[in-house]
Amino acid sequence: MVFAHGFGCDQHMWRFVAPMFEADFRVIVFDYVGAGDSDLGSYDAARYSSLAGYAHDVIEICEAMELHDVVFVGHSVSAMIGALVAIERPGLIDKLVMVGPSPRYTDTDEYHGGFTTDDIDELLGSLDSNYLGWSSAMAPAIMGNADRPALGLELSESFCRTDPVIARQFAEVTFTSDNRADLARVGVPTLVLQCRDDIIAPVSVGEFVQRSLPEATMVVLDATGHCPHLSAPEQTAEAIAAFVRT
Amino acid sequence: MSSGDPLGVNPAGGESGLELDDAELYADAPCGYLSTRPDGLLIRVNDTFLGWTGYRRDELVGVRRFVDLLSVGGRLYHETHFMPSLQMQSAVREMAFEIVCADRKRISVLVNSTLKRDAAGQPSAVRTAIFLATERREYERELLRAMQRAEESEAKANLMARTLQATLVPPAPPTIPGLDVGAVYRPAGSGEEVGGDFYDVFQVAVDDWAIVVGDVCGKGVEAAVVTALARYTCRAASVEHGRPDGVFQIVNEVLLYDGDKRHCTAALMRARRVDGAWHGTISLAGHPAALLRRAGATELAEFGTYGSLLGIFPLPRFTAESRRLESGDVLLLYTDGVTEARQGDSYFGEERLHRLLVEVEGGAQEIADLVVDAVLDFQDGNPRDDIAVVVIQVP
């Protein structure tokens, strides 16, 4: 099972859910380039100017680790990255789990994604105004002083650590991509996992994803927010477990 | 002094009952103070926050979530970064948001939140302190703009360095009909500063070629200007002068009267084919001699006689030395970035270079690559000086 994090965070997001599958599966978690402990030097603005670059990274990980019959669990934008991988490499992914997916965030005349392009610009502005905070949050990495009360906080700062420049481009790519047409080409059984109240990916968007996929079931969790794997990890794990065991 | 408490403050924390009312301390705290359920629904709000935002308590408590008060862009950030961080580390500090007030105006704030857990460890409530940051945000925006400008300038400077760098060496790998030529140029460090080494291979007439390797002292744009001048003067002067020592006289004069105080070292070899045999004539200007490996020989010969640095002396002395080049001969011209490569206190040195060149096999480009790779390995891949190498092999 490969667990892929979404925009704004890193592999730590899966720390409540992924371990529950370790008894039955080989469990892989990873950071996209720019997030967590990834090698920032590997970032290539051209490669990551579309989700395809991230999809190729997933394929490279699977190939390097010689994975097969992969259950790919993708949160948020990674749900679409998983779809791209399934299309590009038929046979690599056996089952796909999409947690809070959205194939397009901005509205069109006939489609309701939930956001306007102005909203997305505002998000980018929001990232910029946290730019300074992020840089300084990345700086302190003081370890090993048990008598320092601030240690716990300093260590935990490393969760969701993201390079601000890369995060900005990832945000742009994430929130301006349109993968609606790709969904019909996903040839593997897919679980759409959805919170009942999620402003990033509302239930109506989850339903659109389920309708557009050839072979999909949808489970609406009694959870709120965009990260059920953090706010309701047991429910999330149960729903994934029920799907992978069918 | 009648007591140990000159200001009249008693240890219980107040003067005659001041600052003892906890409810009032909460309500009128100098920051906005909110409590929400773990799902974000507001359950308690202090008066300061209501005063800033213009909401009535009954418009917020039990009705709206904290995220509903944010700008839409802020909501995206809240859901994708703030909440996951809070859920994982139970505290989030100094996140910048904009709150949309009752009259739709926005206030810039900094948000600190802590996640409270019950006895079973389950999240029970979120407490959030909110600080006005309007002026600070404006200042930060200026800082951010300055930072972005600095990043742009740096990117431009790097591009310029790479562009200039590209002018110091020929655009295509050099070729001479009837000779096997290989060349490598590797700028110091990460290559984002223009260096002073250069090489050039150019034709003067049929079966008449010039090969030059040089090193201008210093780095940066000023050094690059001198480098370009030296390189092009070599080209121009080689048309009139058949001997490299004559060419160096002109290069020296040009550099001397250029006004820039920089000097330059160089090795210039003229290679001519006469009746099917190649003859090399070389001059050195403050530069290491070329190394010549004769076919089948187990030792190297130095080729070239030491001459004056370029750009310093009004009356420099250069010597031209000629040899017939035989089939199988290998000739290496290099800059001191090779021999002066350092590892701790030890240098790569001439001896190491000699040993390497005696052993290497392959075509001219392979040999050039092997030499530079060895020098880079010696410095853990991070050369402190530029490296330029040209290898000529007679087929």
CB contact under 8 A, A131 and B147: yes
Q: Is the pLDDT assigned to residue B179 strictly greater than 90? A: yes
The DSSP secondary structure of A63-122, one letter per residue, reads HHTT--SEEEEEETHHHHHHHHHHHHSTTTEEEEEEES--SB-B--SS---SB-HHHHHH
Put simply, whether B133 touches A (Cβ < 8 Å) is: no
Give the pair of three-digit tokens for residue B247: 């060419």
Q: Which chain A residues are closer than 8 Å to B74 by Cβ?
A: 122-123, 126
Nearest-Cα residue of chain B relative to residue A116: B72
Q: Check pLDDT > 80 for residue B17.
A: no
Q: Which residues make Cβ contacts (< 8 Å) with residue B274, sequence separation at least 6?
A: B207
A144: helix, strand or coil: coil
B234, B266 in Cβ contact below 8 A? yes
In this complex, the residue of B74, B83, B94 whose CB is nearest that of residue A126 is B74
Work out the average pLDDT over B27-37. Answer: 96
Q: Measured between alpha carbons, how far is B191 from B158 in angstroms, rounded to an integer?
A: 9
B-chain CB neighbours of A7 within 8 Å are 80
Q: Is the pLDDT of residue B311 over 70?
A: yes
Statement: residue B187 has pLDDT above 90: no
* B190 CA: distance to closest CA in chain A (Å): 12
Nearest residue in chain B measured CA to CA from A35: B81
B185 DSSP assignment: E
Q: Please tell me the distance from the alpha carbon of residue B91 to that of residue B121, in angstroms, as a whole number.
A: 15
Average pLDDT of span B209-215: 96
Chain B CB contacts of A122 under 8 Å are 71-74
Can you name the residues that pair with A37 across neighbouring β-strands?
A: none
Query: Which residue's structure tokens are 């990345």?
Result: A138
**B86: closest CA of chain A, how far (Å):** 10
Give the residue carrying structure tokens 């920089």.
B262
Say how many CB pairs under 8 Å bridge A and B.
111
> Which distant-in-sequence residues (6+ apart) come within 8 Å of B173 by Cβ?
B181, B182, B183, B365
Taking each helix axis from N to C terminus, what angle separates B220-240 and B244-256, rounded to the nearest 10 degrees? 140
Tell me how crowded residue A47 is: count the other CB atoms within 10 A of its CB.
14
Q: pLDDT at residue B317 above 90?
A: yes
Scan for tokens 């720390």, then name that residue.
Answer: A15
| Amino acid letter, A166 | I
User: Comparing C-alpha atoms, which of B69, B80, B2, B76 is closest to residue B41?
Assistant: B69
Chain B residue numbers touching A120 (CB-CB < 8 A): 73, 76
Among A119, A129, A231, the residue to mutate for chain B (most B Cβ within 10 A): A129
From the CB of residue A109, how many other CB atoms can be counted at a distance below 10 Å?
4
Active site residues of A: 76, 198, 226
Closest CA to B16 of B4, B5, B26, B8: B8
pLDDT tier for residue B15 given thresholds of 50, 70 and 90? low
Query: Which one-letter amino acid corresponds to residue B65?
Result: R
Pick from B190, B176, B246, B239: nearest CA to B219:
B190
Q: Does the ipTM surpass 0.90?
A: no
Dig out the tokens for A220 from the structure: 């609406």
Is the pLDDT score of B44 beyond 90? yes
Residue B94 has pLDDT above 60, yes or no: yes
Per-residue pLDDT for B206 more than 90? Answer: yes
Sheet holding B42-45, edge to edge: B42-45, B32-36, B123-132, B106-117, B91-100
Residues of A with CB under 8 A from a CB of B: 6-9, 12-13, 15, 76, 115-116, 118-133, 153, 156-157, 159-160, 162, 175, 197-200, 224-227, 230-231
User: B73, A226: Cβ pair inside 8 Å?
Assistant: no
H helices present in A139-232, as ranges: 151-156, 164-176, 203-212, 228-231
C-alpha A157/C-alpha A231 separation (Å) is 19
Give the model confidence (pLDDT) of B214-244 as tens digits.
999 887 778 888 888 999 999 999 999 999 9
In chain A, what residues touch B77 (CB-CB under 8 Å)? 8, 123, 126-127, 130
pLDDT tens, residue by residue, B147-178 = 889 989 988 888 887 787 777 777 777 889 99
Q: What percent of chain B has pLDDT over 90?
A: 65
Tell if the CB–CB gap between B76 and A12 is shorter than 8 Å: no
Q: Please give the pLDDT value at position B16.
A: 64
Q: Do A9 and B75 touch (CB under 8 A)?
A: no
Check pLDDT > 80 for residue B342. yes
Nearest CA-CA partner of B129 in B41, B50, B33: B33
Measuring CA to CA, which residue among B373, B369, B314, B365 is closest to residue B173? B365
Tokens of B291: 């190394």
Q: What whole-number distance in Å separates Cα of residue B12 and Cα of residue B14?
A: 6
B192 touching A (Cβ < 8 Å): no
Taking an 8 Å cut-off on Cβ atoms, the answer to whether B39 and A115 are in contact is no
Residue type, B326: E
d(CA B269, CA B329): 15
SS3 B61: coil
Report in angstroms the alpha-carbon separations of A237 from A10, A15, A24, B123, B380.
18, 11, 13, 18, 47
Angle formed at CA B264 by CA B263 and CA B270, multiple of 5 degrees = 145
B40 touches chain A (CB under 8 A): yes
Cβ neighbours of B98 in A, within 8 Å: 126
Q: What pTM was computed for the model?
A: 0.65
Using DSSP's 3-state secondary structure scheme, residue B45 falls into: strand
* Per-residue pLDDT, B201: 94
Least confident range of A183-192, A195-204, B191-200, B267-276: B191-200
CB burial of B346-367 (b: ≥16 within 10 Å; e: otherwise) equals eebeeebbbebbeebeeebbeb
pLDDT at B50 over 70: yes
Predicted pLDDT of residue A148 = 35
Average pLDDT over residues B302-308: 96
- Give the pLDDT of chain A (246 residues) as one tens digit per residue: 999 999 988 899 999 999 999 999 999 999 999 888 888 878 888 999 999 999 999 999 999 999 999 999 999 999 999 999 999 999 999 999 999 999 999 999 999 999 999 988 888 877 777 764 444 333 333 232 333 333 334 334 456 777 778 888 999 999 999 999 999 999 999 999 999 999 999 999 999 999 999 999 999 999 989 999 998 999 999 999 999 987
Pick the residue of B81, B90, B112 with the most A CBs within 10 A to test the interface with A by mutation: B81
CA distance B109 to B77: 14
Name every chain A residue with its beta carbon within 8 A of the beta carbon of B92.
none
Segment B280-298, tens digit of pLDDT: 999 999 999 999 999 888 8
Q: Report d(CA B153, CA A118) in Å as an integer.
A: 28
Q: Give the distance, in angstroms, between the CA of residue A190 and the centroid of all CA atoms in the same chain.
A: 15
Helix (H) or strand (E) holding B24: helix B22-27
Whole-angstrom Cα distance, residue A19 to residue A22?
A: 5
Instruction: Report the relative pairing of strands B123-132 and B180-186 from DSSP bridges.
Output: unpaired
Q: Closest residue of A to B96, CA-based?
A: A130
Distances (CA, A) of B339 to A117, B291, B362, B372, B375: 58, 12, 22, 11, 8
Question: Quick one: three-class SS letters along B287-329?
Answer: CCCEEEECCCCCCCEEECCCCCCECCCCCCCCCCEEEEECCCC
- B294-313 residues touching A, CB cutoff 8 A: none
